[in-house]
Amino acid sequence: MSSASPLALLGNLGYDVRAMSYARPNIEQMHGYVPGEQPKVPGLIKLNTNENPYPPSPKVFEALRAAVDERLRLYPDPQSLGLRQKLGRRFGFDPAQILIGNGCDDILNLCVRAFVGEGEKLAYFWPSYSLYPVLADIQGAQKIELPLDDQFQIRSVPSVAGVKLLFITQPNAPSGVWLHKEKLRDIIETMDGVVVVDEAYVDFASDNCLNFIGKYPNVLVARSFSKSSALAGMRLGWVVGPTELIGALDKVRDSYNVSRLSQLAGEAAIDDVPYFEETVRKVKATRERVRRQLEDWSFGVLPSETNFVFAKPPAPLTAKRWFDGLRERKVLVRWWDADRIRDFARVSIGTDKEMDKFLEATHETLR
Amino acid sequence: MSSASPLALLGNLGYDVRAMSYARPNIEQMHGYVPGEQPKVPGLIKLNTNENPYPPSPKVFEALRAAVDERLRLYPDPQSLGLRQKLGRRFGFDPAQILIGNGCDDILNLCVRAFVGEGEKLAYFWPSYSLYPVLADIQGAQKIELPLDDQFQIRSVPSVAGVKLLFITQPNAPSGVWLHKEKLRDIIETMDGVVVVDEAYVDFASDNCLNFIGKYPNVLVARSFSKSSALAGMRLGWVVGPTELIGALDKVRDSYNVSRLSQLAGEAAIDDVPYFEETVRKVKATRERVRRQLEDWSFGVLPSETNFVFAKPPAPLTAKRWFDGLRERKVLVRWWDADRIRDFARVSIGTDKEMDKFLEATHETLR
């Protein structure tokens, strides 16, 4: 060992202390993102991570089974061109305006890396997707939390001077509400930096923000196959926007970021529009039925444009006791012990049968 | 639009100029990584991206076919625990020392983000994997290029003062040579920062560096399923090291970075050791046969411990004309117009039949 080795010099300080200092200070200090549980309890009704209760299209299964062969030894198309072409045709964009990610989280990550340097400002509304502050911490960016009002809406255009990147979840999570589009326009026109409209849940809403693309040079719209296409297990997301912004994301992207099978699953899902529309329709119908029942029982339910409801139980029942009571009855929903949202629980919309059990379990916790 | 809007003020400058300024300066200025071509030419013999010529294990196909069902609607295990346990048992590590990536490139990317801040030093030997400088550029890190000697070996311990992260490809690419392990030890003991031994090709070598783990607090060893396990299409890599370093990478990792099917493919591949050993043995045997033939024809062939050979044709044939001649004959290898390596071409080892055609085409270009 070289006599100049800091390892030798620090030897007595021990392993742990030394090793921790290898990480950047922002990484050392931060807390990682905590995903919802993926428990393997038999018989559990899983309404905690907003998965689609219906399977992916049968065409997806066909495409995947046909692709499980020796071609898996080959790298995938680094450009995911087939999938981008299909998305372009479906939504009316040039494939050059589209980029594919290993899940929508990959897309959000690329946006941070392309547009926000260390110490620069990254903004997001709060409460919203809890990954945004984590991505800011990883990048060593300055977090700007923009509060939503009591109805989880944007009250007035916030000050966004110097903000390099703003994430807006539309419809928002965990509230499920649709943010007024006029307010979004006002913010976009004030913004100096890039606005990412994160539309992970938008297929369950009545509107979307794709018409911002082509109108604003600083807007990207991100989408996911996880929820409405029931492909959470395949990891697939996409983003559309001006080619200049897409080009910046493409430089940051891992060149083989999407597997052969995930690309094919996405293509097959897009091809089956009737199946997609039918399952989305069913989820929305169930959502409204659940909302009405909860409201009949005096829950406060926010108007949902997503595949979940965010609901506040009537006193004396608390959200925490509702959550615990459901869990005891093998129904898993999501509850956060966090400011602004601890009075609510978020309930993903399952099949009608699952939601009947959820309602039954809820009714029992009300007694 | 607000009168203070910079978009309004800059309107006349036009779209492109404005949009480019959204990206960080390092992203604007950098060039993205250029992966090897994935052409779809019928009958082409593809020896350009070091894929395995043999298919993945039949057990992989079985596992994947059995998993193509409604469970794809569910998120994957965010911890890839089953795969980490199997890797731990196979190689003698605790699962807590192992992290799974969406390909080995994902792992390398996580290392940069966890250990190197903007403006800090990231080092790598040169010539080596051309992704390293790209990852440095994305992070806005300072690139320290450490030259290899004429034999593509490390001559003396370089100055690595202040280097936060050093990538060492072992065996190296594109040279294919095994770097003297003693030299690696000397460097590791001098290093103030983290050393990542990138063993993407190590299963085709006679040795490996896993015994560095447990000995040094600053060493990680990265591995890939793409080459030796023939799973390039599935995107799967892993890294092993001290839990403190793994913990830092885990904070930076996308929580659902590996799809359900990729996790299962990896597990099934690990379970089929005899198949793995047999295909690796075949690739190595073919490699030696190709090397001998090329040497008989007076090519300079570096001693390869990988699934490719890096060879220099005898004058008057140049590497570029060899590459072009092969391409005309529908054999695709890889050639870089870059300092230090433009006199060589890199040839992935295919099946015996493919390599016979490669040798035949080579013989024709020699005339």
HSE toward the beta carbon, residue B90, CA cutoff 13 A = 17
pLDDT, tens digit, for every residue of A301-348?
999 999 999 999 999 999 999 999 999 999 999 999 999 999 999 999
Tens digits of per-residue pLDDT, B233-250?
999 999 999 999 999 999
User: pLDDT for B129-170, tens place per residue?
Assistant: 999 999 999 999 999 999 999 999 999 999 999 999 999 999
A7 in contact with B, Cβ within 8 Å: yes
Domain residue limits at A299: 45-54+274-366
Q: So what's the pLDDT on residue A12?
A: 36
Within a domain: B212: yes
Average pLDDT over chain B, rounded to whole? 94
pLDDT at residue number A219 = 98
Chain-chain contact of B27 with A76 (C-beta, under 8 angstroms): no
Same-domain check for residues B160 and B206: yes
B138/A113 touch (CB, cutoff 8 Å), yes or no = yes
Q: How confident is the model at residue A8 (pLDDT cuts 50, 70, 90)?
A: very low
Do B85 and B200 reside in the same domain of the chain? yes
Domain CATH for A69: 3.40.640.10
CATH number at residue B353: 3.90.1150.10
Same domain for A110 and A206, yes or no, is yes
* Res B4: pLDDT: 36
pTM: 0.93
Asked, for residue A209, whether it belongs to a domain, the answer is: yes
Residue type, A127: P
Residue A330 distance to chain B (closest CA, Å)? 18
Query: Is A215 touching B (CB cutoff 8 A)?
Result: no
**In a shared domain, residues B150 and B255:** yes
Contacts of B217 in chain A (CB under 8 A): 7, 15, 18-19, 22
Same domain for B219 and B285, yes or no, is: no
Give A169's DSSP letter: E
Q: Say how far apart CA A183 and CA B72 lie, in whole Å.
A: 37
Q: Are residues A257 and A350 in the same domain?
A: no
Residue A23 contacts by C-beta under 8 Å, 6 or more apart in sequence?
A: B114, B115, B244, B245, B248
Element (H, E) at B144: strand B142-147
Q: Determine the distance in angstroms separating the CA of B304 from the nearest CA of chain A, rounded to an integer.
A: 21
Q: Single out the residue in A218, A251, A271 at which a domain terminates.
A: A271
With respect to residue A19, please indicate whether it lies within any of the assigned structural domains.
no
| Position with higher pLDDT, A21 vs B229 | B229
* Phi (first) and psi of residue B160, to 5 degrees: -125, 25
Residue with structure tokens 């885990």?
B250
Whether residue B17 lies within 8 A of chain A, CB to CB, comes out as: no
pLDDT at B133: 97
CA–CA separation, B236 vs B229, rounded Å? 10
Joined together, the tokens standing for residue A290 give 């659940």
Which B positions 32-71 lie with beta carbon below 8 A of chain A? 32-33, 35-36, 38, 46, 49, 51-56, 60-61, 64-65, 68-71
ipTM surpasses 0.85:
yes
Is position A254 within any domain?
Answer: yes
CB B135 within 8 A of CB B87: no
Q: A205 and A346 share a domain?
A: no
Nearest by Cα to B312 from B324, B323, B327, B328 = B323
Residues 90 through 119 of chain B touching chain A, CB cutoff 8 Å = 102-103, 105-106, 109, 113-118
Count of C-beta atoms within a 10 Å radius of residue B155: 11
**pLDDT given for residue B15 in this prediction:** 39
What letter represents residue B70's amino acid?
E
Same domain, B206 and B185: yes
Q: Is the peptide bond before B174 cis (omega within 30 degrees of 0)?
A: yes
Q: Which residue of A has its CA nearest to B50?
A: A74
Over residues A223-247, mean pLDDT = 98
Q: Give the confidence band of B299 by pLDDT, cuts at 50, 70, 90.
A: very high
pLDDT per residue as tens digits for the range B309-319 = 999 999 999 99
| pLDDT computed for residue A40 by the predictor | 80
Average pLDDT over chain A, rounded to whole?
Answer: 94
Say what the pLDDT of residue A5 is.
37
Same domain, B143 and B209: yes
- Which tokens go with A157? 């255009």
Q: Is the peptide bond before A171 cis (omega within 30 degrees of 0)?
A: yes
One domain for residues A249 and A303: no
pLDDT tier for residue A217 given thresholds of 50, 70 and 90 = very high
pLDDT value of position A19: 45
Residue B218 lies in a domain: yes
A303 within 8 A of A205, measured Cβ to Cβ = no
CA atoms within 13 A on the CB side of A301: 20
- Which of B235, B253, B283 to mutate to probe the A interface, most A CBs <10 Å? B235
Window 298-327 of A, Cβ < 8 Å to B: none
Alpha carbons A140 and A154: distance in angstroms, whole number: 27
In whole angstroms, give the CA distance from residue A229 to residue A36: 19
Q: Is the Cβ pair A226, B64 closer than 8 Å?
A: no
- Considering only alpha carbons, which residue of chain B is nearest residue A50? B74
Section A209-235 average pLDDT: 98
Domain final residue, candidates B214, B240, B271: B271
Contacts of A317 (CB under 8 A, 6+ apart): A365, A366
Counting the structural domains of chain B, the total is: 2
B259 and B286 share one domain: no
Q: Which of residues 154-173 of B touch A (CB under 8 A)?
A: 157, 164
